[in-house]
Amino acid sequence: MNKDKIGSWAFLIGVVIAIVAGLIPSLIPAYGATLGLAILGLIIGVLNVTRKESTTFLLASVALLLSSAAGLNILPLIGAEIVAVLQNIAALISPAAIIVALKTIWDTARKK
């Protein structure tokens, strides 16, 4: 299995875990979900995002991370679940964004 497929599978599995853990928190312990999502995020950041995609990925990451802190928990009936899912997605995307940002900074600093 090549690295592109590993990164794609890591992303897909991470999103599914984020949704399931957010909607059914009793199914997956919070610390286990967060740790697993962070590890998958590191894999995504290393294997799945190319230099060409880094700007778009970082912009989308900022949008997702801001939306996870938008205070949607005030919505009746579904607010808490939406916030839980978004926080889990943030746990997946944050490590990937850190890796991609560091790679981008490194590439920029290396240029003459």
55, with CB counted inside 10 A (0-12, 13-18, 19+), is exposed
- Where are the domains positioned within the chain? 3-110
pTM equals: 0.84
Task: Report the number of secondary-structure helices (H) and strands (E) in the chain.
Answer: 4, 0
pLDDT tens track for 66-100: 887 777 667 777 778 888 888 899 999 999 999 99
Which residue is listed with tokens 């992303």?
A: 11
Average pLDDT, the chain: 86
